[in-house]
Amino acid sequence: MKTKRSDNFDKFSLKKKGSAVKESIRQDKKKAKAESRAMGEAARQRKIDKARGIVTDPVPAEKGKRGAYVKKTGGYEKKPYDRKKITEAPPKYGELKPSYNARPTTINKRTPASMDKADEKRTASIGKVTASADTPYEQMPLNKYIAHAGISGRREAAQMVKSGHITVNGDTVLEPGYKVQYKDVVRLKGKVLQLQVTPVYILLNKPKDYICTANDPEGRKTVLDIIKNATTQRMFPVGRLDRNTTGVLILTNDGDLAQKLTHPSYEIKKIYEVTLDKPVTKADMEAIAKGVDLEDGFIAADAVSYLSNTSKNVIGIEIHSGRNRIVRRIFEHLGYDVRHLDRVMFANLTKKNVDRGKWRFLAEKEVRLLKFMNKSFTRKSAQ
């Protein structure tokens, strides 16, 4: 009877606790994962061996286990599988470089003898770095260059190249994969293509004594000095103002938009507030509206009016011409001295909420109106 109680007690006391059971389960899972990984590695190695021409035969499986494989290496000893990175020269075009740590690769069966001239060019360019370190890119496929210029997608660009519409440095190129260098000049039917950059649009309320140029040999202040902290992009002013003229000025790196805003055919509206040395007579106001003959041709204001009932020497004038110093020359032609000239509107943009010498980025809606030349501020060209 004593022995029976002892057996029951031992059975209870030797029973595994919860933590021991969990640890046992963890160890079993760990062992199963290790076996699974080993089987996966063996399967991958068989594929590598098969690609290298090494024949493998299965070994009869033990009871409850899958079969293993024995390598027949043809009389030489198989090197152990090494996962370390192999730092060797890249394989030549059309060849497969054996590697112990690489997955099977599809072998390109084409030989140099069967390669066309375009393939030879691509082969020669593999691994080369020809551009300097300060260039934005080293080499770029021609169809990619066209796509990044905003002309079309890469597939359509490839068709353009094959159709003979693209020239590089004056020579027609028919291979979409042709490598374009940084300083190459690419043209589509004679028009120069340029890679697009992030467009930036700034409205500046220009103060006096600043000139509208990128740099000045005389060391004078430029409008770019005011916005130097706004962006790293190369900006340029649109619709320049002379040194003593103040008001609305647009600066951007969007060449297409700048062309639209300054080209005479678009007739972009501009409104100026002109302060003169003496009151302007009614007859001169009518002459400005009808038009006057200047040394470079006839010019008429779109609208002109007094800005005050009491002061006749402050005039508002609307004009679409982009000729140099045109407003000053109109009044000087009639015998007036312009004391102050301020552009209060340009292409529907005003200096509202922008103090003198300050700037702001244009809103998306404002940019969209400029690009689509909204009829509310664009006069229709004569047909």
Active-site residues, by number, are: 242
Calculate ∠ Cα 328-330-333, nearest 5°: 105
